[in-house]
């Protein structure tokens, strides 16, 4: 699918959150997805209800425009994947930088819950596609919504450049 068709279909990227815990982060990420014409995939169990005021406030009035997909479990989400080779897991435990990926329309960017990240089992399933953001400072990790924004905009930048 080329970029113009993906923009129309709201499928430039697939942003996946596995067991998110903080509604404000999920709302902000949903807003980013709307802005980048990308889909948000939420893998449960969620630690909050999507109707919570905090999710709606963080997503502002953009939430109705979000291409949202929900899954009860990791297994259900895994069975929905069309091409596992285009699934990239963001984890502080990776060696490879997210800059070393050539992103394409339709790629899936996966992020774990705020307190624990992605499980070792899930990281093992996609060991070759685990990536990290550089963290030269003295932090263990970055805020989830910020990490998603940085990763999604880099992927979008590459996709836009490849399609221009």
**Which CATH number covers residue 134?**
3.40.1280.10
pLDDT at 51: 73
State how far the Cα of 39 lies from the Cα of 30, in Å rounded to an integer: 8
State how far the Cα of 24 lies from the Cα of 27, in Å rounded to an integer: 5
What range defines the domain where residue 126 resides?
Answer: 3-162
Longest dimension (CA), the chain: 42
pLDDT at 10: 65
Model confidence, pTM: 0.93
Segments of the chain with pLDDT less than 70: 1, 6-10, 52-60
pLDDT at 47: 87
Phi-psi region of 60 (alpha: psi -120 to 50; beta: other; left: phi over 0): left
pLDDT at 34: 94
| Secondary structure letter of residue 15 according to DSSP | E
Closest to 68 (Cα-Cα) out of 46, 90, 91, 98: 46
Bridging pattern class, strands 67-71 and 87-90: unpaired
Average pLDDT of every residue of the chain: 91
**Domain count of the fold of the chain:** 1
Q: Residue 27's Cα: distance from chain center in Å? A: 13
């Amino acid at each position: 699918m080329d970029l113009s068709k993906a923009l129309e279909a709201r499928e430039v990227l697939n942003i996946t959150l596995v067991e998110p815990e903080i509604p404000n982060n999920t709302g902000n990420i949903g807003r980013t997805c709307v802005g980048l014409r990308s889909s948000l995939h939420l893998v449960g169990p969620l630690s909050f209800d999507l109707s919570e005021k905090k999710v709606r406030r963080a997503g502002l009035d953009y939430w109705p425009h979000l291409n949202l997909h929900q899954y009860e479990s990791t297994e259900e989400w895994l069975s929905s994947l069309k091409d596992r080779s285009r699934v990239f897991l963001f984890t502080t435990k990776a060696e490879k930088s997210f800059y070393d990926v050539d992103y394409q329309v339709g790629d899936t960017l996966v992020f774990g819950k705020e307190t624990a990240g992605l499980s070792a089992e899930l990281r093992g399933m996609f060991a070759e596609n685990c990536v990290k953001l550089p963290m030269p400072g003295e932090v263990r990790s970055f805020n989830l919504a910020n990490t998603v924004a940085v990763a999604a905009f880099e992927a979008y930048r590459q996709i836009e450049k490849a399609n221009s």
